[in-house]
DNA sequence: GCAAATTAATGATTTATTCAAG
DNA sequence: CTTGAATAAATCATTAATTTGC
């Protein structure tokens, strides 16, 4: 028996995208099978969601999502998972914006005197720096590594987040 | 031999605060010896730290702390351990807030249909619901709790957060 | 003006980390 | 130390904007 369509409480389904490749005017395209269309929020719905977000809502729980879905259903087709995803994405992307802003702030703040390099804090640069992933390092690690810190530091050029990237000649 | 002053990579030392008790105007006070005063973050420093926190930084590693410290040093005296502790404390306290908020959340927002109470969605109320971070509730819990929801709803009379307050008379 | 082509936004999924309970 | 639950980050996929050549 093949597992029946798994779906959690909000209707999220794993590996659900059924696509069919074909060509349209000499271009290979993928067409969703089964009339699959993604949710396209109405202006009304977005307004409500943003209001909630501004009001402080970030990760609504099941009950909240049900409630919101019910409400937004009045303005167009919508499912719980749409609400769930909306908050996930909106939160994440707001955070990205903030992070980028913070870095800009910092890099401008801190480099009081780096005219040459300071000038190109472009979107790309920030995107590169954004990668502040969660790091594996624990304090234990750090302490153990203390001896080898120099090495580590040198090796971090590409791996670690550069907090204050604009450093001219490596003052100490 | 007594162990020499232990200090980790950031200069943290155990039991390093040398205090001396004395009386000042009939009050017993403890005065730090050797001009020791605890770090008092400047507004600038806090702004930067909070920006980093919002940006996702939680437990900076040695290199990052060095970098941050160096940077914040431009806005006032500061050591690596201050940065370390700030993140520890800030993370912990944010988590506390969120834990507290989660409790409120559960009791508040489940109310599926309570027209009378629906009128006040204030920012504070939303802030309470905001965090719901690492909630203790699992999806399973939520579902199980569905049965007992009524109880929760009845207890919410004074806490009241309503998501969609503007519901005239329960139109559809 | 208009579609095709391209790019930017954003919805939906997958993967990696974190926290804390056992 | 291991593991389950939750979720944040990264990524994939599709739709909307926008550009571009006619």
Partners of residue B9 in chain A, C-beta under 8 Å: 142-143, 146, 149
What separation in angstroms does the CA of A79 have from each of A11, A85, A93, B105?
Answer: 8, 10, 21, 22
Give the β-pairing of A27-32 and A19-24: antiparallel
- Distance, angstroms, CA A151 to C1' C15? 30
CA distance A17 to chain B (A): 24
Task: For residue A99, list its beta bridge partners.
Answer: none
Residue to substitute from B81, B129, B153, interface A, most A β-carbons within 10 A? B129
For chain B, what is the radius of gyration of the CA atoms?
24
Query: Which tokens hold the place of A7?
Result: 């779906």
**Residue contacts between A and B (CB atoms, under 8 Å):** 121
Rounded to whole angstroms, the Cα distance separating B61 from A136 reads 9
Return the top range by mean pLDDT from A59-73, A91-105, A142-156.
A59-73
What's the residue count for chain A? Answer: 172
What's the residue count for chain B? Answer: 172
Q: Which residue has the tokens 């977005």?
A: A46
Partners of residue B112 in chain A, C-beta under 8 Å: 63, 66-67
- Mean pLDDT score, A132-140: 34
Interface check for B164 against chain A (CB to CB < 8 A): the answer is: yes
3 state DSSP class of A23: strand
Partners of residue A60 in chain B, C-beta under 8 Å: 129, 132
Q: Which residue has the tokens 């060095």?
A: B66
Q: What is the pLDDT of residues B33-61, one digit of tens each?
A: 444 567 878 777 777 787 777 666 777 76
Q: What is the pLDDT of residues A7-36, one digit of tens each?
A: 666 766 655 444 444 444 444 444 444 455
- Distance, angstroms, CA A111 to C1' C10? 35
pTM (two decimals): 0.49
């Amino acid at each position: 028996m093949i597992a029946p369509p798994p779906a959690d409480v909000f209707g999220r389904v794993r590996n659900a995208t059924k696509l069919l490749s074909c060509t349209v005017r000499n271009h290979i395209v993928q067409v969703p099978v089964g009339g699959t269309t993604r949710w396209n929020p109405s202006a009304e719905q977005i307004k409500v969601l943003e209001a909630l977000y501004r009001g402080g809502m970030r990760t609504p729980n099941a009950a909240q999502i049900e409630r919101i879905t019910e409400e937004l259903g009045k303005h167009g087709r919508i499912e719980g998972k749409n609400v769930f995803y909306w908050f996930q994405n909106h939160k994440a992307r707001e955070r990205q914006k903030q992070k980028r802003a913070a870095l800009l702030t910092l890099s401008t703040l801190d480099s009081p005197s780096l005219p040459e390099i300071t000038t190109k804090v472009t979107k790309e640069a920030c995107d590169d720096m954004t990668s502040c992933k969660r790091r594996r390092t624990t304090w234990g690690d750090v302490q153990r590594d203390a001896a080898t810190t120099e090495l580590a530091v040198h090796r971090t050029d590409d791996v670690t987040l550069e907090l204050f990237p604009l450093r001219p000649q490596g003052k100490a």
